[in-house]
Structure 1
Amino acid sequence: MKCINCINTFCASLPSEISEEMCRVAVHSKHNAKEFFVKSVGPNGYLYILSLGTVIPYRLASNGNEIGVDCLHAGSILGLCDFLNGNADQITVYAKTNIELCAISVIKFDRLRSRCPAINDSIIKMLGVRLKHSYIKLGYTLGDSIEKMLYQLDELFEQQDVSINFTHDELALLTGMNRVTVSRVIESLKQRNIIKPLGRGRFVYINSLDQEFGGPSFKKINRKESLTLVLK
């Protein structure tokens, strides 16, 4: 029987005895919503399995702006790329919601990985999804602010489906813009009828990235549910 703490997609994909052992050797911690924190990763550090909640890891761009690397949900592993590359580093993270982390030393994780091929299979799938998103995101990073925002909205709807709830500051972090630019882009999206205001910060998302620019879109366009964006 699986440990009750191992309910995220990563741990759920592993044999029961491995996920239970992983839970026993892990150090569990919690962070509050809207909290910024730093974690050490790499050969002598830890890997952090996100067991609950949503986070945005971020880095400094060449222009000095903070830019979110991705929006990660339960089942994601923080520090995975540094672990595989053998880099000692620190990652800076913004907790969008209340979160729970399972910290596992790299040495213990490597031992478990050598015993359980399913861990490697899950890592490959996880990296494949991230690589796909990073490759497409790179193209829109070079575009204008509207393209960047539409790309990010499409990706967020693909991850969270019918409704997403974000602040202007969180969208600024994910797109590498400042808060003022985000507000201007949202206003432009309203004028172009890409989003339709419902009042109290709620919008219906009408046109997607592929409809507006002929580019790829991650979300399912043809469905009955309204796609709702909530801004605070």
Structure 2
Amino acid sequence: MNYDYLGDSLTKECLNNLLRVSQCQEFKQGETLFLEHSFCDSVYFIISGNVTVYKDNSDGRRKIIYLLGENSFLNDTMIYDDLNKTSISCDAFTDVKVLIIPLKELRILLSKYPDLSILIIKSLSKKTKRLYRQLKNTTTISMDKRIAAKLWKLAKDFGYEHKEFHGFTVKVNNTYLADMLGTNRETVSRGIKKLKELGLVKVENNQIFILKSKMKDFYRR
């Protein structure tokens, strides 16, 4: 099992104790790791694969908050919440392998190892910054620029070079983008069409590729 990220961030003693109290579990693509408002007594750490973190709106529409990959903590806000109930839902976007860390044991380790506390704080801080960015993009820019910003961020997190363009190591389609942006598929399709006309996006074999070098300039204008 590859724990390089944890090993680089934690002392050997802390890592060994963390692994001692945890267990590894695998989920198939589409399986649910946990649902919003459900009881949960563990924190999850992604070893490999990707997950979708989301909330269901009152009208039943899904709003995707994060697409997270390896070396990410899930439901870490529960560490400081005595209710032990999740505030989000999480599904496996691909086959995924996670480390399940019991909250009771994790809280003990946090009080003993400052490096583990720092790692959790960094995780929470990163998610908070992403939420701020999402809020800004939701309220201040047009939909085509929101789509461009989301595609640029996905390319940054999950991208690979494809000639002068960037593709995605995860399969992102218009429906998934709509759930990420809190809109409908038709609106995303129109936005993608405009980005294609501007030469910022191309679609090959139902896969989206973006001109990452110019996409940021477009949505920041």
> TM-score category by the smaller chain?
0.7 to 0.9
Q: CA deviation at 1:40?
A: 7.7
CA contact (8 A) 1:41 1:47 kept: no
Q: What is the distance in 1 between the residues matched to 2:206 and 2:110?
A: 46
Amino acid at match of 1:188: K
**Aligned residue for 1:149?**
147
Residue of 182, 187, 205 corresponding to 2:193: 187
Q: What is the distance in 1 between the residues matched to 2:218 and 2:36?
A: 41
Amino acid at match of 1:129: K
Q: CA deviation at 1:44?
A: 6.5
Amino acid at match of 2:63: I
Structure 1 spans left out of the alignment, 5+ residues: 216-232
CA gap of 1:51–1:98, structure 2 versus 1, over 3 A, is same
CA contact (8 A) 2:152 2:216 kept: no
CA gap of 1:56–1:146, structure 2 versus 1, over 3 A, is same
SS where residue 159 of structure 1 aligns?
A: helix
Q: TM-score, normalised by structure 2?
A: 0.81
Q: CA deviation at 1:209?
A: 4.7
CA contact (8 A) 1:195 1:205 kept: yes
1:176 aligns with 2:182: yes
CA gap of 1:39–1:196, structure 2 versus 1, over 3 A, is closer
Q: What is the distance in 2 between the residues matched to 1:203 and 1:167?
A: 7
Residue of 30, 33, 37 corresponding to 1:34: 30
**Aligned residue for 1:135?**
132
Q: Deviations along 1:101-147, whole A, 9 cap, x unmatched?
A: 11111110011111111011112222222222211110112343322
Two-structure CA RMSD over aligned residues (Å):
2.6
CA contact (8 A) 1:48 1:102 kept: yes
1:47 aligns with 2:53: no
Q: What is the distance in 2 between the residues matched to 1:44 and 1:81?
A: 12
**Aligned residue for 1:110?**
107
1:71 aligns with 2:76: no
Amino acid at match of 1:126: S
**Aligned residue for 1:210?**
216
CA contact (8 A) 1:67 1:173 kept: yes
**Aligned residue for 2:163?**
none
Q: CA deviation at 1:45?
A: 1.4
Structure 2 spans left out of the alignment, 5+ residues: 161-166
1:13 aligns with 2:9: yes
CA contact (8 A) 2:36 2:89 kept: no
Amino acid at match of 1:174: M
Q: What is the distance in 2 between the residues matched to 1:214 and 1:5?
A: 38
Q: What is the distance in 1 between the residues matched to 2:23 and 2:52?
A: 21
Q: What is the distance in 2 between the residues matched to 1:94 and 1:43?
A: 16
CA contact (8 A) 1:42 1:82 kept: no
CA contact (8 A) 1:41 1:79 kept: no
CA contact (8 A) 1:32 1:95 kept: yes
Q: Please identify which structure carries the higher helix content.
A: 2
Amino acid at match of 2:183: M
Amino acid at match of 1:214: R
* Greater displacement, 14-23 / 70-79: 14-23
SS where residue 74 of structure 1 aligns?
A: coil
1:80 aligns with 2:76: yes
Q: CA deviation at 1:93?
A: 1.2
Q: What is the distance in 1 between the residues matched to 2:209 and 2:44?
A: 35
Q: What is the distance in 1 between the residues matched to 2:40 and 2:125?
A: 25
Amino acid at match of 2:104: I
